[in-house]
Copies of this chain bind each other. A is one copy, B any other.
Amino acid sequence: MNAIIKEHGYKRNVFASNLAFNKKFVFAVFLPKYDTIEYWHNQIKGIEKAEQEYRNLGVVLDYYFYDFDSTSFKNKASEVLKSNFDGILFAPIFHDESVLFLEECQKKQVPIVMVDANIETSIAHTYVGQDAFKSGVLAGKLISFAVKSERRVLVVKIAREIETTSVYLQRIAGFYSFFEKNKNLEHFKFTELTIKDSGKELLNVNMFAGIHSVFVPNSRAYMVAQFLEANHIVGIRIIGYDLLELNKEYLKKGIIDFLIHQKPEIQGYTAIGFLYKQLVLQEPVPQTQYMPLEIIVKENLE
């Protein structure tokens, strides 16, 4: 009989339904501590915007932040699992630990949304984030705008040891694939440079001799920009990722030329919106939601 009613174009009244249900939905938000990491700070900003928007609509957020190490992750994870929540948003920074965490969440039968990076698994979940490979291809294209004479490109990998996600490797893979697929770009030559994080002092002028462009496959383009500015090296095109304050500053100065923006705020905002849709509105959401790849130059910043 219910079936018959539904067939006949019946629409649940969301207001009445949620009024009667009279329940707050608790979304657990399980992310790295954001105090010092601007990228995560922006994710949180989007989440907080969504929190405010859905506050009157029966949504409560419970935050759990961990330090950027796997022990802290595991400790907080068990804390999360002890609590009660109707939906979970988290970032699988540490792969193996995240798989275990996912399995526990599955037992709770709640909707799961992952941001920033995805995990290959059969456990149903939604991914909201970047397509890292494609963003690398795009970086290649942007570098390729230079003239058609010989071009030397420096790929600068500045990474901390605990970098366990493969995001920046995927970006580099995409980057090279662009030049492989475009055979008329054989005049581009590449050199790689690997530097430990906060090892800015390891840069030296010789590294940039004869270089026309620099590709920084993570958010640390500002370090290269700082160095080039301090040493009065001009005419080198820099392309990097993420709208950190320092990156934006050098973009405005014209020292960084391109930033690829992954919209962390929108990631967080969208993720909460997806939980809201599933739980409050009882509507389906996509399995994967890639952020559009935005090209930011000085003139379309903001």
Contacts and interface: CB of A to CB of B under 8 A. Distances in A.
Given A145-B145, A300-B293, A281 B56 contact: yes
A141 B297 contact: yes
A294 interface: yes
Given A56-B281, A145-B145, A147-B147, A299 B15 contact: no
A76 interface: no
A299 to B, nearest CB: 4
Contact of A15 (B15, B141, B146): B15
Contacts of A145: 145
Contact of A300 (B18, B57, B292, B298): B292
A137 interface: yes
Given A11-B56, A57-B14, A295 B298 contact: no
Contacts of A58: 15
Interface string A3-32: 000000001111110110000000000000
Interface in A265-302: 281, 292-295, 297-300
A23 B237 CA distance: 58
Contacts of A12: 56
Contact of A295 (B146, B178, B297): B297
Contacts of A16: 15, 19
Given A11-B55, A294-B294, A299 B178 contact: yes
10 closest A-B pairs by beta carbon, nearest first, are A15-B19, A293-B300, A295-B295, A138-B299, A147-B147, A141-B299, A15-B18, A15-B15, A14-B56, A145-B145
Given A13-B19, A16-B19, 15 more contacts: A14-B15, A15-B16, A15-B18, A15-B19, A15-B57, A134-B299, A137-B299, A138-B297, A138-B299, A145-B145, A147-B147, A178-B299, A292-B294, A294-B300, A295-B300
